[in-house]
Amino acid sequence: MMEQAMVAPIFLWAHCRDESSRIGPEVKAYVPKHISHLQELTLSGPEDEVANLASCLIEPAPMLELLSLRAQTFEFHSSDPPIPVPPVLFDGQTPRLSRLTLGNCIISWNCPNFKSLTSLRLLLKPFGAYGTTEFLPSITQLLDIVDQNPLLTILSLEYCLPYLHSHVFPLPSPTRVGKLVHLADLTLTGRVLDCVQVLECLSIPPTASIHISCHAWNRRDPSI
């Protein structure tokens, strides 16, 4: 049926519900050959499966409007870093991409795919502890992304690293403020102080909904 679709816009959703599930072979064979007319692509599954498919996403995707890559991890305390994906997806050519979700996988924070987005969700593995913050965007990179996407209506930064004693968001005092004029929904997950630091560097409309989930594992947590 997918082959008969020829060059019609394709909405492809592949989701593995448990550790034993795998992304089907038909999806693995189809996606690399038909990138040019994918309009929405959602891949959610084991880390190795998502990593293998993501490595094939190197051709331009002129019709792509939604991309969601979620590498599931079933070992909550794993210190493994996010899965490797090409630093620039689709050769950087996704002119219609407006909704982007990256779960436990990252691309370059300076990637041209971060253009003209209306929805951006960045999620790291739940309860993971990488022992490093190199996978998180710096304050400058975060504000650059905000500046490049003035039409953002949804921004979600969910960094669940409660076992780290260092800050989840390694942000100094902001030297500039990113304006999100059209923001409707902001979600922050992390330690208290880190969420505050993110809020300090963003100009948010008074009509926006803000959702904050803070981690504090004991009353002496200095971030409180």
For every residue of 126-179, DSSP letters joined together read TT---S--TTSPPHHHHHHHHHH-TT--EEEEE---TT-SS-SS---S-SS-EE
- The conformation of residue 30, written as its DSSP 8-state character, comes to H
Residue pLDDT tens, the chain, 224 long = 777 777 889 898 888 766 667 787 888 888 888 899 999 999 888 888 888 888 889 999 999 999 999 887 655 445 566 777 888 899 999 999 999 999 888 788 888 888 889 999 988 754 444 445 566 677 788 888 999 999 999 999 887 554 444 444 455 566 789 999 999 999 998 777 778 878 888 999 999 999 998 876 666 766 56
Q: For position 82, what pLDDT does the model report? A: 75
pTM of the model: 0.84
Q: What's the pLDDT score for residue 6?
A: 76
Are 85 and 60 in contact, with CB atoms under 8 Å apart? no
What number of other Cβ atoms are within 10 A of residue 85's Cβ?
Answer: 20
pLDDT for position 18: 66
Look at residue 79 in the predicted model and tell me its pLDDT. 55
Query: What's the pLDDT at 130?
Result: 47
Q: Are 105 and 51 in contact (CB under 8 A)?
A: yes
Cα(79)–Cα(83) distance, rounded to whole angstroms? 12
Q: What is the pLDDT of residue 149?
A: 92
Provide the pLDDT for residue 95: 94
Q: What was the pLDDT predicted at 218? A: 65
Nearest Cα neighbor of 198 from 102, 85, 100, 122 is 122
Using only C-alpha atoms, the chain has a radius of gyration, in whole angstroms, of 18
Output the CA angle 70-73-75, nearest 5 degrees. 165
